[in-house]
Structure 1
Amino acid sequence: MSRSTEYNARHLSVLEGLEAVRKRPGMYIGSTDSRGLMHCLWEIIDNSVDEALAGHGASIEVTLHPDGSVEVEDNGRGIPVDVEPRTGLTGVEVVFTKLHAGGKFGGGSYAASGGLHGVGASVVNALSSRLDVQVVRAGKVHQMSFRRGEPGTFADGSRPRPDAEFTPAADASPLTVVGKAKRGQTGTRVRYWADEQIFTPDARFSAEDLQARARQTAYLIPGLRITVRDERRLPGTAGEDGPHEEVFQYDGGIAEFAEHLTQLNPVTDVWRIQGSGSFTEKVPVLGDDGRTQMQDLKRTCEVDLALRWDVGYDTTVRSFVNIIATPKGGTHLSGFESAMLKVFRDQVAANARRLKAGNDKLEKDDVLAGLTAVLTVRLAEPQFEGQTKEILGTPAVRRIVGKVVEKELTALLSSGARAQKQQSGQVLEKVVAEMKSRISARTHKENQRRKNALETSTMPAKLADCRTGDVAASELFIVEGDSALGTAKLARSSDFQALLPIRGKILNVQKASVGDMLSNAECAALIQVVGGGAGRSFDVEAARYGKVILMTDADVDGAHIRTLLLTLFFRYMRPLVEAGRVYAAVPPLHRVEAVTRGQKEREVIYTYSETQLQQVLARLESEGRSYKEPIQRYKGLGEMDADQLAETTMDPRHRMLRRVRIEEVEAAERVFDLLMGSSVAPRKQFIASHADELDAERIDA
């Protein structure tokens, strides 16, 4: 950074610490790409959130401007504008130019906060080509500007610009009063332009990430109103056609957050667990003489937890410390998980006979399967690992969270209240079913190897297996009913094509529990034949077939059976679908025998839709050719001759397959929940709203 001859000792002392930030930005914000850019924004937003957390202010507005700047405004108390006696600088300048300075030290201003290192605002200032701060306090609007951490004034024209002419401040207090404020009005507004010298050219603010963070924070502080406004008009975003605004405000707290995160097939209501504990830790305290001394301080840690189980096996756990997300966990999360495992082991042991649990021990994954949990702890000056605050390190929190969860969860699972008792029983049954599923999958994986012709007796009797030992070349056809099986046996190539008949419509696993799914004969047989296990423990490398092909009739029932089968694969064998190894066969609907005058041989044409049939008939008519009446319409696979089925649907040289893909997992999850889940009202609304789009003629085609 170039230094003007006007610089005096005060300028040098201000820049001394911030130069280190500019030299090693990764140490403070993790990286200099979009992730680091967003981290800077979180630092400013978290300062406003800490005000709300302390009970001051209930509104935060974040605006992404077209010129690349971002603005954060709150109605908190406002940064102090009086002069700090030790430095002789105003509170605003101290906050934005001094590392390890602010209201988060000593415990006087904030009982619990997210910004704990005192470097957030000053780091953002150091990494910005321009930063403007306005503070509304005591009936006045105070303003101060910085260029790359240095206080001064910009010669702005009609609008503020980071490249405007800059004059470094010569006096010790460049905080100016620019207006009056209404009585009782307070707050802080920060607008900054990230420095292009520091951040990579492709670094961008993500409106989606910002909205997700705002939603998350609004859940964690009930009643807080957060507004996110995107004025950039970027192509492909919600604000493409004009300024886009989202407002987040939730009064239900983390219980509402858990409802938002959970799947659509809950086993339980949201269970809320709250409690607190205290601990003592040695901390350095700054004395009046300017020296630090180690003192024992008593701390209080508040624990708030929301739990909900779903019928599936995916786990969603979000943990927070003073509303700061800790995606990599820490002592609070390890305390929660160990307490959960201990409580459930004790409860299963106490009810072993009723649950038919045997002597097997639960593991952590059994308890967490299908769980959605939001865990928050609040305490003063927590220890984080690094400035990015992704891992909580305070050791005593593990014990406190563990004790609270153990006590309250045991009380819930042992409750005699009728509704609670029923839900507790369902959760315990689910956990035990997960344990049995895991043990069964492990045993199956250990014992199950590719079977040769002499060993197929361990497989279901109705499986017509193939002879090849090459998994990549083998194919499993899941066929609808025994009539289709008979034809398919004659049509297949037994070297590499195996057949498994499914009788009728299998269980809808989107609604059913894991235990119900495993006890269903058709589902169990299918999982056993595929050979990779089920659910969380599914191993795509252990699957016995390279392709799994669903071969159902081309009618409404066939489509329903195919949907039920896909639901099973999506819920419990998803890696197989993600690997592109699940297919749907496309059997023909019509068989047309074209007759050419003067020739004995007849050309056979298969069509796959009503539209295609009409096109073929029109072509034959234009060529002056006739066709045999009536045209054969296949109502099911069983109506085909073996050679016809082989030629059209099973022979790799001629058949057509439709690969099942998951382009967007979350969108697919929502569709399966909507169409196959236990919640009837959304499905009814979907059917009613799309009824006018239905083409009746396409039902069988």
Structure 2
Amino acid sequence: MSSDYSARHLSVLEGLEAVRKRPGMYIGSTDSRGLMHCLWEIIDNSVDEALAGHGSEIATVLHADGSVEVRDRARGIPVDIEPKTGLSGVEVVFTKLHAGGKFGSGSYAASGGLHGVGASVVNALSERLDVEVDRDGKTWAMSFHRGEPGIFTDTGEPSPDAPFTPFEQRSELRVVAQVAKGVTGTRVRYWADRQIFTKGADFQTEELLGRARQTAFLVPGLALDVTDQRGETAHTTSFQFDGGISEFVEHLARDAPLTDTWRLTGFGTFSETVPVLSDSGAMVPTELQRECHVDIALRWGTGYDTVVRSFVNIISTPKGGSHQLGFDQGLLRFLRAQVEQNARRLKAGSDKLEKDDVLAGLTAVLTVRLPEPQFEGQTKEVLGTPAVRAIVSNVVSKALGERFSSSRRDDKAQSALLLDKVVAEMKSRISARAHKETQRRKNALESSSLPAKLVDCRSSDVAHSELFIVEGDSALGTAKLARDSEHQALLPIRGKILNVQKASVSDMLSNAECASIIQVIGAGSGRSFDISTARYGKVIIMSDADVDGAHIRTLLLTLFFRYMRPMIEEGRMFAAVPPLHRVIVMNPGSKPNETIYTYSESELSGVLAGLKKQGKRHQDPIQRYKGLGEMDADQLATTTMDRRHRTLRRVGIADAEMAGKVFELLMGNDVAPRKEFIIDSSDQLSRERIDV
């Protein structure tokens, strides 16, 4: 390389050249994520029109040829001449960086677009882009090839491979049709440039549908249609919601509600110094008064997962920003004050709430609307406007204060439940921290801190150790003799544990059986659960093969799903499969009898039919196991505990989710769905299935 370096080595990229040279600066990446970002830019332009009160329908079409089209019935892009450039409004929007109607000109009070580069960036990164505008009784059209305006000579369907002739003297906005007076709208269709995007980049249908659904929640009454024509048959999905972000929260929430969905609204003003173009053409620093509107919907559930979605002018901010910091700050500050005021009733002591305690079980949608927000980068993932933090914090504190001081019975009850929950989360966190600091693998001589009824194994090798949760002391006695004491530990439970689906965290922790299970596994619970510190590689539920056994297994699965979910997600939860019958086949002469175990009535029928066909006899009566305690140690070891012969059923996350739903239906607080289920299912119940 040459060592000389002078001005002639510098490159000056004009217009859209910079976008094509460094696309990642504008759209983040050139894979599917960047491709989708281009589509968001076009869709968001139409959504901004809807936010301004123009147009209530937006349609997105994924064409079979790889192109995508966005249609709206809004005001339409201006088609008159922009005086500074001498170009039509359409050409300015699609070819000039930092040009548009969102720089405080009064066209939009609040918008998602603000840098003026969205449409022009998409145009620069497209092999072909066609735009049609219905306005002034006419349909105006213009086409671009990699950002350059011109005319494609199509012989059939539009294609980026058609001959292209760029404009030489001046650009031309063509009139291609007439429309009725008052009809307005914009249609943009483009083919992404494969010179820019990676080979595997493609439009993600599920991501597009998720974004369309999200936008429909954020703009009540706006209809969004997504049509995918890339398969054998076209498929259209439509979204329209009138409930706004309250309905969005109900859609996002996964657990049973502890509170209703609360709506917190308010606004604040702040001053901001921004450069404003004067009449002389100079940029003059000017102090402006801004107004920020805050709208929040939230609810707490009985679980501990947190789902918070934040938006600025309907643009998602997945990495948060000043508005989310203000939300967290206001929530924590207010609830800390409430806990201090009610410390005696809550038995909170001198400990302070932390953010995780407050956010446990929270589902919230946070939206702010303000003119010209400051984002960090064109991808708009973080809001930077500093003044928004204090405004959101104050709105949250004031709105929650009105809710907690309300005289309505429901508000009082739900406020009390919420304080109980956050204090229980705080106590659980403190307890888990203390337990984690002192926790270490106990050997047979050091197990005094563990429940006395635990029959531990000798090995400290977590990967090969197993914990059997057994039903009752009678099964424990047999299992002690049947187990491999090197690797298999036993924990008996007394009957049916607490139904944690509708119990509070504090009730769960104060329940002896639930607390013993959590303590023995040794990895904490809820948000503080750390699977790397679990004391056993497998947890196996070993209950009787009857209705009560299934009930106990479902209760245990609900406990693990709610408070120790990683054990299920990593495939470390199992259900033992004990046999139902023992068939002793009588062999002639001195040949020893053969034992066959069956696990269902249908399997037993098949075995008996096979023996009859072979002319073999069996002992009567056939033993039917009513519980694990009826087996002797050899039988239990052979069928259920010996790794060489047993059958285990791995529990998947879908099994646990279904267990939770069944318990919510059959044992939850909501009576109406349970009554409906019983009525609808009554004709399916045979008299023989009732145990009387």
Which bin holds the TM-score, normalised by the shorter protein?
over 0.9
Partner of 2:313: 322
Partner of 2:167: 169
Where in structure 2 are the equivalents of 1:241-320 lying within 5 Å?
A: 242-320=233-311
Alignment RMSD, CA only? 2.3
1:540-571: CA deviation from partner (whole Å, max 9, x where unpaired): 12212221110001112111111110111111
1:210–1:692 Cα change, 3 Å: farther
Partner of 2:111: 113
Where in structure 2 are the equivalents of 1:193-272 lying within 5 Å?
A: 193-233=191-231, 242-272=233-263
**What is the CA distance between 1:599 and its match in structure 2?**
2.7
What letter corresponds to residue 425 of structure 2 in structure 1? Answer: E
Query: In the aligned structure 1, how far is the partner of 2:418 from the partner of 2:368?
Result: 25
SS of alignment partner, residue 15 of structure 2: helix
Query: In the aligned structure 1, how far is the partner of 2:648 from the partner of 2:314?
Result: 50
Contact 2:558 2:656 in 1 (8 A): no
Query: In the aligned structure 1, how far is the partner of 2:399 from the partner of 2:499?
Result: 35
Query: In the aligned structure 2, how far is the partner of 1:130 from the partner of 1:691?
Result: 62
Where in structure 2 are the equivalents of 1:338-417 lying within 5 Å?
A: 338-417=329-408
**Greater CA deviation, 421-430 or 521-530?**
521-530
Where in structure 2 are the equivalents of 1:34-45 lying within 5 Å?
A: 34-45=32-43
1:359-394: CA deviation from partner (whole Å, max 9, x where unpaired): 111000000000001100111111111110000011
Query: In the aligned structure 2, how far is the partner of 1:186 from the partner of 1:668?
Result: 53
Identical pairs, percent = 71
TM-score (norm 2): 0.94
Where in structure 2 are the equivalents of 1:489-500 lying within 5 Å?
A: 489-500=480-491
What letter corresponds to residue 206 of structure 2 in structure 1? Answer: E
**What is the CA distance between 1:138 and its match in structure 2?**
1.3
What letter corresponds to residue 68 of structure 1 in structure 2? Answer: G
What letter corresponds to residue 241 of structure 2 in structure 1? Answer: Y
Query: In the aligned structure 2, how far is the partner of 1:38 from the partner of 1:691?
Result: 50
Q: 635, 640, 647: which one pairs with 1:649?
A: 640
**Greater CA deviation, 335-344 or 16-25?**
16-25
Contact 1:267 1:311 in 2 (8 A): yes
Q: 424, 439, 444: which one pairs with 2:415?
A: 424
Unpaired runs of at least 5, structure 1: 1-12, 234-239
Query: In the aligned structure 2, how far is the partner of 1:557 from the partner of 1:668?
Result: 15
Partner of 1:4: none
Contact 1:299 1:380 in 2 (8 A): yes
**What is the CA distance between 1:533 and its match in structure 2?**
0.7
Query: In the aligned structure 1, how far is the partner of 2:381 from the partner of 2:20?
Result: 22
SS of alignment partner, residue 271 of structure 2: strand
Partner of 1:623: 614
SS of alignment partner, residue 453 of structure 1: coil
Query: In the aligned structure 2, how far is the partner of 1:246 from the partner of 1:133?
Result: 24
* 1:27 aligns to 2:25 (yes or no): yes
Contact 1:510 1:678 in 2 (8 A): no
Q: 322, 330, 335: which one pairs with 2:326?
A: 335
What letter corresponds to residue 492 of structure 1 in structure 2? Answer: R
Where in structure 2 are the equivalents of 1:474-553 lying within 5 Å?
A: 474-553=465-544
Query: In the aligned structure 2, how far is the partner of 1:63 from the partner of 1:684?
Result: 44
Contact 1:33 1:202 in 2 (8 A): yes
TM-score (norm 1): 0.93
Contact 2:469 2:542 in 1 (8 A): yes
What letter corresponds to residue 99 of structure 2 in structure 1? Answer: A
1:309–1:74 Cα change, 3 Å: same
1:555-589: CA deviation from partner (whole Å, max 9, x where unpaired): 12111111110111111111112222211111111
What letter corresponds to residue 149 of structure 1 in structure 2? Answer: G
**Greater CA deviation, 548-557 or 467-476?**
467-476
Contact 2:501 2:660 in 1 (8 A): no
Query: In the aligned structure 1, how far is the partner of 2:658 from the partner of 2:36?
Result: 26
Query: In the aligned structure 1, how far is the partner of 2:687 from the partner of 2:522?
Result: 40
Query: In the aligned structure 2, how far is the partner of 1:126 from the partner of 1:672?
Result: 55
**What is the CA distance between 1:298 and its match in structure 2?**
1.2
Query: In the aligned structure 2, how far is the partner of 1:360 from the partner of 1:179?
Result: 72
* 1:461 aligns to 2:452 (yes or no): yes
Query: In the aligned structure 1, how far is the partner of 2:487 from the partner of 2:478?
Result: 17
Partner of 1:87: 85
Query: In the aligned structure 2, how far is the partner of 1:667 from the partner of 1:626?
Result: 43
Query: In the aligned structure 1, how far is the partner of 2:662 from the partner of 2:95?
Result: 51
1:210–1:697 Cα change, 3 Å: farther
What letter corresponds to residue 390 of structure 1 in structure 2? Answer: E
Query: In the aligned structure 2, how far is the partner of 1:303 from the partner of 1:474?
Result: 53
Q: 624, 633, 637: which one pairs with 2:628?
A: 637
1:690–1:328 Cα change, 3 Å: farther
Partner of 1:179: 177
* 1:574 aligns to 2:565 (yes or no): yes
* 1:149 aligns to 2:139 (yes or no): no
Where in structure 2 are the equivalents of 1:1-16 lying within 5 Å?
A: 16=14
SS of alignment partner, residue 377 of structure 1: strand
Query: In the aligned structure 2, how far is the partner of 1:606 from the partner of 1:360?
Result: 57
**Greater CA deviation, 600-609 or 34-43?**
600-609
Contact 1:88 1:172 in 2 (8 A): no
**What is the CA distance between 1:648 and its match in structure 2?**
1.1
1:670–1:224 Cα change, 3 Å: farther
Contact 1:25 1:32 in 2 (8 A): yes
1:524–1:665 Cα change, 3 Å: closer
Partner of 2:7: none
Query: In the aligned structure 1, how far is the partner of 2:380 from the partner of 2:118?
Result: 12
Unpaired runs of at least 5, structure 2: 1-11
* 1:126 aligns to 2:124 (yes or no): yes
Query: In the aligned structure 1, how far is the partner of 2:562 from the partner of 2:453?
Result: 24
**What is the CA distance between 1:493 and its match in structure 2?**
2.7
1:683–1:417 Cα change, 3 Å: closer
Contact 2:48 2:112 in 1 (8 A): yes
**What is the CA distance between 1:623 and its match in structure 2?**
3.1
**What is the CA distance between 1:120 and its match in structure 2?**
0.3
**What is the CA distance between 1:473 and its match in structure 2?**
2.6
SS of alignment partner, residue 497 of structure 2: coil
Query: In the aligned structure 2, how far is the partner of 1:301 from the partner of 1:684?
Result: 47
Query: In the aligned structure 2, how far is the partner of 1:503 from the partner of 1:389?
Result: 55
Query: In the aligned structure 1, how far is the partner of 2:28 from the partner of 2:657?
Result: 28
Query: In the aligned structure 2, how far is the partner of 1:694 from the partner of 1:170?
Result: 81
Contact 1:556 1:699 in 2 (8 A): no
Partner of 2:596: 605
Query: In the aligned structure 2, how far is the partner of 1:667 from the partner of 1:486?
Result: 32
**What is the CA distance between 1:686 and its match in structure 2?**
6.3
Contact 1:265 1:678 in 2 (8 A): no
Query: In the aligned structure 1, how far is the partner of 2:123 from the partner of 2:85?
Result: 19
**Greater CA deviation, 439-448 or 617-626?**
617-626
Query: In the aligned structure 2, how far is the partner of 1:671 from the partner of 1:147?
Result: 57
Query: In the aligned structure 1, how far is the partner of 2:659 from the partner of 2:197?
Result: 36
Contact 2:78 2:89 in 1 (8 A): yes
Contact 1:154 1:165 in 2 (8 A): yes
SS of alignment partner, residue 17 of structure 1: coil
**What is the CA distance between 1:314 and its match in structure 2?**
0.3
**What is the CA distance between 1:517 and its match in structure 2?**
1.2
Query: In the aligned structure 2, how far is the partner of 1:390 from the partner of 1:671?
Result: 39
**What is the CA distance between 1:645 and its match in structure 2?**
0.8
Query: In the aligned structure 2, how far is the partner of 1:696 from the partner of 1:634?
Result: 23
1:276–1:460 Cα change, 3 Å: same
Partner of 1:596: 587
1:552–1:678 Cα change, 3 Å: same
**What is the CA distance between 1:522 and its match in structure 2?**
1.3
Query: In the aligned structure 1, how far is the partner of 2:296 from the partner of 2:80?
Result: 40
**What is the CA distance between 1:89 and its match in structure 2?**
0.1
